[in-house]
A and B are shown apart, each in its own frame.
Chain A
Amino acid sequence: MPVSALASPRRARPSLARIAMLVAGSLLVGFLALPLVALLLRVSPADLLARLASPVVLDALRLSLVTSVAATAIVFVLGVPVAWLLASRDFPGKRVVEVLVDLPMVLPPTVAGFALLMAFGRAGLAGRALAAFGISLPFTTLGVVVAQVFMSVPFMVGPARASFSGLDRRLLDAAATLGARETFTFFRVALPLALPGILAGVAMSGARALGEFGATITFAGNLPGSTQTMPLAVYVALQSDLDSAVALSVLLIVMAFGLLLGLRAAPVGSFWGHTRARAADR
């Protein structure tokens, strides 16, 4: 529905509703922007660059990039099929699966980390079996990835599922009528058409993995070079080296901001949007 239909037909004076929206909007934007601006103002660009070159920062940056890329890849591979399943059919226990997928979004990360220890820790339920294969997750880089995967699943599945659900059923049915198997329909029809939502999921889950703190420090511990990602390094630096903490924080904000902004600026969304519209017209 066009927004103008909601607005008052008389244009002589701005309506009370519009003023209220403007006030609420500026309050919220100011509230969100001010802390970021305050952080940026805290340090000069020259200082920032000098700090960024320190080994602690570089170690944390490298580790954060490696782990969050790995976590996002895993979440993508496991999350997209689940999103498709949830969007395309009903099955017993679907509600439970939906809740499970959403849960990490509202779970305190420390609780998630503790639960991960209970499951995959050395003395944990599955951890003992893993140990038989010589795999130990706590205190390892792999453990960091596990914590990030756990926490970022909802951010992949949510947008991907919404995107799959929004697809024109007729296209999928047409593919089926033409004799395509579900695998073919999924890879050649559904996946390309739902790409904008899936990419949104990739960006969101990547950003979430990048910012993961609580589950990581609880499950994987904190050691520079192997488990100390950028958010952990910020936390440690806050207590001993404030300037490095600021530098790391600014870097994290820039990366997260860039990721989410890139998602909106990417041509792929509109491109696929057009294709979809044209396909639907035919």
Chain B
Amino acid sequence: MIVLFTALLTSLIAITSSGGDAHATKQTLQVFAAASLAGAFHELADRLETAHPGLDVRISIAGSQQLVAQLEQGAVADVFASADDRWMSYARAQGLVSGEPTVFARNRLVMIVPKPNPARIGRLQDLSRGGIKIVIAADAVPVGHYTRTVLRNLTRTEGFPTDFATRALRNVVSEEENVKSVVSKVQLGEADAGFVYRSDVTPAVARYVRVFEIPEGANVIATYPMALLRDGPAPDAAKAFLDLVLSVDGQRVLEQHGLMPIAAISR
């Protein structure tokens, strides 16, 4: 018993201390990024690691609101990339951020429908029909907030019924916790329609869904701000990551993943 206990304790100490050693030899950059940035940021992380062999870039993906909650509870990270201004402002108000946030990308919403299209949706107006299963993100999630704005905007758009938003929201069968869950519910054919970012329709997703564009006047252009975090242990690496994202190469990577580069740099 005692032997076992001692062995357990020693191995525990060994594990934790060896972890410390690894930190000394290899620097770690921890990036907290909104779910819709997953593909692009993983590719950018690989590039930064190639350019800086001693650097280990870790991307933590979740809903922006969830990342802020984690930071508030003391999670340590160097960079925060949010899917909207709301959560970046909140993070700033909580004193989590150092310096000014930089807008590095934009995104827009689309409606997706599973390819078999069980509800026979042919246009956006069909969402107000009774009995359709719509999945959107919760209001606290940036894309969920945008979705509600888009639905309200469409209500005021010509060719849409005046109670479009109310009727569409009545068809909502689930409020998901992040945009990727909306994608998967539609991709699996469980939902008849969902609202996601254009960038979420990756080639892997595009095989399963049909995309409906939202009229420009009614769509929301999401802006993605990014900032260094005050308590980040690797500010230099964080700055290097930020520079990479804003570089011509970085912007191209974002574009390849369906995001809209910021105008000043793209062309």
Report which A residues bind B (CB closer than 8 A).
16-17, 20-21, 24, 117, 121-123, 138-139, 217, 220-224, 227, 235-236, 238-240
Contact = CB atoms under 8 A, between A and B. Distances in A.
Given A20-B1, A139-B173, A217-B177, A122 B190 contact: yes
With a 10 A CB-CB cut-off, give which of B66, B118, B138, B139 has the most chain A CB atoms: B138
B177 A20 contact: no
A240 B65 contact: yes
A221 B177 contact: no
B189 interface: yes
Given A16-B2, A222-B175, A223-B172, A122 B135 contact: no
B174 interface: yes
B178 to A, nearest CB: 10
Contacts of A138: 173, 190
Contacts of A220: 174
A142 B138 CA distance: 22
B65 to A, nearest CB: 4
B188 interface: yes
B69 interface: yes
Contacts of A117: 188, 190
Interface in B156-215: 172-177, 185, 188-191
A122 B189 contact: yes
Contact of B69 (A16, A24, A238): A238
Contacts of B133: 139
A239 B2 contact: no
Contacts of A123: 116, 188-190
Nearest to B192: A122
A235 B116 CA distance: 33
B250 interface: no
B234 interface: no
B188 A221 contact: no
Contact of B174 (A20, A24, A139): A139
Contacts of B173: 138-139, 221, 223
A227 B174 contact: yes
A236 B141 CA distance: 10
With a 10 A CB-CB cut-off, give which of A121, A223, A224 has the most chain B CB atoms: A223
Contacts of B177: 217, 222, 235-236, 239
15 contacts: A16-B2, A17-B2, A20-B2, A20-B5, A117-B190, A121-B188, A220-B174, A221-B176, A223-B174, A224-B175, A227-B174, A235-B177, A236-B140, A239-B65, A239-B177
A222 B138 CA distance: 9
B258 interface: no
Contacts of A121: 188-190
B63 interface: yes
Contact of A239 (B1, B5, B66): B66
Interface string B55-76: 0000000010110010000000
Contacts of A24: 5
Contacts of B188: 117, 121, 123
Given A16-B2, A221-B174, A122 B118 contact: yes
A227 B175 CA distance: 10
A49 to B, nearest CB: 25
A17 B1 contact: yes
A165 B190 CA distance: 43
Given A122-B190, A235-B177, A221 B135 contact: yes
A121 B191 CA distance: 10
Contacts of A223: 172-175
